[in-house]
Structure 1
Amino acid sequence: MSFVRHRAALDALARRGRLRRVAPAAGLDFASNDYLGLAGSELLAGAARDALARGVALGAGGSRLLRGNHGEHEALEAEAAAFFGAEACLYMGGGFQANQAIFSALPMQGDLVLHDALVHASAHEGMRLGRAECRGFAHNDAADAARVVAEWRAAGGRGRVWIAVESVYSMEGDLAPLPALAALAAREDAVLVVDEAHATGVFGPQGRGLAHGLGCALVTLHTGGKGLGASGALVCADRVLVEVLVNRARPFVYATAPSPLSAAVLRAALRALADDPALVAGARARMAQARDAARGCGIAAQSQIVPVIVGDDHRALALAAALQAQGFDVRAVRPPTVPRGTARLRLSVTGNVGAAEIAALFAALEAAWVR
């Protein structure tokens, strides 16, 4: 069988500098989302060994609704709800699956999903599968969000508004104006849906995220595979909304449940956040150093994610290759992951590097970029 059209599509991507390939990890880690350095830690490895010794299963064996529900899932959900200050929590296989579930199942027909222009692709996938109307607002612009809601109301919109944002944006590294959006949510009796994937473990009290304590109706998503070093995702919300997900979210109903062993490991990561202030403090110290170093290169950074906007796809690949040749694992990110004309390096300050490595990276970046 011939796949000529598929090969032609791949060749076209390559000509534009947009062909993706899976590459092994090599060099100093400035590419992953392992912000606390927990992914390869003895702490989580020990938690896995202890769980296996207790007889915790590797696999769930089925959907949570078909004998795949295990005590480790429920224990994790109870502890996560308490830690993040929510009525209830649902453990799912990953952040993409969780966002699909949230936006396909919770907003109802006649509602409005009001989303930031740069929300994750998984949120868009969920919106596409859902029944609510969807409108975007300018990135991080709460005034524009209010304008869009007012226009929708003036045109006859009477349902509930769901405001979808990321607390820390995965490619920009900037922070959502959560207080202003929470005030808008309170005025509109809206629900603020906050993807905390890149804030959990780094921002907020004990790494609980930036939405913690906002005081409005909230749905928060905390991924287990980034700062927490494990896997899966935790959706925290009102108990009624969690029950709706269990009953109506196809990514939950029809998916094999996450590994009970993974649930046990993620629970250990949450306990580490609560018990060891040095984890979060270390991440914040590395972040502060990187922000200062980035400023010296003319780059504004607000978080542990430092975007180096290059513009041209081929130039971004070349700059990444130059730094990789010096032992730094950095990756070029190109459209459609980021807007056209904004190809970049996404520098991620992880828990697997120290002060000397951070300084060396930015010195190498400055030298390579100037050339």
Structure 2
Amino acid sequence: MISHPRHRAGLDALAARDRLRARAPAVGLDFASNDYLGLAGSDLLKQAALDALNRGVPVGSSGSRLLRGNHPEHEALEQEAAAFFGAEAALFIGGGFQANHALFSALPMQGDLVLYDALIHASAHDGMRLGRAETRAFAHNDVAAAEAEILSWRAEGGTGRVWLAVESLYSMEGDLAPLDQFSELARRHDAVLVVDEAHATGLFGPMGAGRALALLHDPNLLTLHTCGKGLGAAGALICGDAVLIETLVNKARPFIFATAPSPLNAAIVRASLAALRHRPDIRERAWTRIAHAHAEAKRLCGLNGFESQILPVRIGADGAAVAVARTLQSRGYDVRAVRPPTVPKGTARLRISLTGAADQAAVTGLFETLSDVGSAYL
């Protein structure tokens, strides 16, 4: 007798549609992770960890930050992050998923509207489901559509505050939001602009402080910066007006009831931010690699239109995307297939990520191989 037959049937159905997920080990050169600056395994962060341990920073926090888990490293990081990201205050939390849960469940109030880009992170959707505000989506990167939704909501009697939620760089499309236009839209309607900088932090903006740093910073701007991607560590930072940050401390369940992030990890994130301040060569190498990849994708595969370190290559069918990815992995290039429901049906793709693990020769080799094994789909 099969244990849990309904769950088994569900897994079998996913497998039949080429959508069964698995914990796959790293293979070959890294073109799959979010380690955009190559900091995760760097000597720089290893030394930062050793230095922190030597000065007595503990590995574990032992409890919630509202009990005994708060540590001077957490507070030092928050002060430094607020200054680095141009905000009044910052809150360090366990990860980007928890941060979006916290933000969208605790800040928008009953009677408010959360208006979000249709391609925003899944964690934002989960946070909104836990919140009390009404939610509406608008077409990806479409400022006019977003304004039409605001006007429609007001015409229907909406009187609360609008929270306009976008990502500065989208993780599966690799494209950039028109932040200047969204910022102006937020000002016209006295909306709070929430900018998820998860995939931009470390690469974009002055010193890698993100694309939102160029916007007018006022109480109506909140930014989210994950620490496990470009910064090479773990955790996340929510940055904005001190009243909103204090509200999260008092009302956000993912912060209140979670064990605090490791103080050691906070010390490592501090070192990442210091490196971005004082080592412009780290970002310069990344951008050289990105420019080379854009050029080689066009030259060898006829692919163009990329805007960032994330190069989505649409294949279409789920099974075909998996097959091409596996062939690339067998040739030494760790590229992963992304399938629905992470992306829309019929748009299964390779998500090529430019990380610190690959030099220019490896990038050229990847696109030469893709041209060979994926030519039927490109």
Sort the TM-score into its range (normalised by shorter chain). over 0.9
CA contact (8 A) 1:332 1:344 kept: yes
Which is worse superposed, 204-213 or 284-293?
A: 284-293
Q: What is the one-letter code of the residue matched to 1:101?
A: A
- Which secondary structure does the structure 1 equivalent of 2:374 belong to? helix
Q: Which residue does the alignment assign to 1:163?
A: 164
| Structure 1 residues not aligned, in runs of 5+ | none
CA–CA distance in structure 2, aligned partners of residues 154 and 20 of structure 1: 44
Q: Which residue does the alignment assign to 1:332?
A: 337
CA contact (8 A) 2:197 2:223 kept: yes
CA–CA distance in structure 1, aligned partners of residues 101 and 281 of structure 2: 34
Deviation at 1:25, TM superposition (A): 0.7
CA–CA distance in structure 2, aligned partners of residues 45 and 370 of structure 1: 41
Please tell me whether residue 81 in structure 1 is matched to residue 82 in structure 2: yes
Q: What is the one-letter code of the residue matched to 1:361?
A: L
The TM-score, its normalising length taken from structure 2, stands at 0.97
- Which secondary structure does the structure 1 equivalent of 2:265 belong to? helix
Deviations 1:248-300 (A, max 9, x none): 00000000000000000010000000000011111111111112222332332
Matches within 5 A, 1:142-161: 142-161=143-162
Q: Which residue does the alignment assign to 1:293?
A: 296
Q: What is the one-letter code of the residue matched to 1:43?
A: L
Q: Which residue does the alignment assign to 2:249?
A: 246
Q: What is the one-letter code of the residue matched to 2:222?
A: V
Q: Which residue does the alignment assign to 2:314?
A: 309
Q: What is the one-letter code of the residue matched to 1:133?
A: E
CA–CA distance in structure 2, aligned partners of residues 244 and 294 of structure 1: 46
Matches within 5 A, 1:1-371: 2-215=3-216, 217-296=220-299, 297-299=301-303, 300-371=305-376
| Structure 2 residues not aligned, in runs of 5+ | none
How many residue pairs get matched? Answer: 371
CA contact (8 A) 1:192 1:219 kept: yes
Which is worse superposed, 278-287 or 189-198?
A: 278-287
Deviation at 1:213, TM superposition (A): 2.5
CA–CA distance in structure 2, aligned partners of residues 256 and 275 of structure 1: 32
- Which secondary structure does the structure 2 equivalent of 1:212 belong to? helix
The TM-score, its normalising length taken from structure 1, stands at 0.99
| Alignment RMSD (CA, Å) | 0.9
Matched-pair identity in %: 66
CA contact (8 A) 2:205 2:214 kept: no
- Which secondary structure does the structure 1 equivalent of 2:212 belong to? coil
Deviations 1:150-196 (A, max 9, x none): 11111111111111111110111000110110000010111110110
CA–CA distance in structure 2, aligned partners of residues 35 and 10 of structure 1: 33
- Which secondary structure does the structure 1 equivalent of 2:135 belong to? strand
CA contact (8 A) 1:294 1:301 kept: no
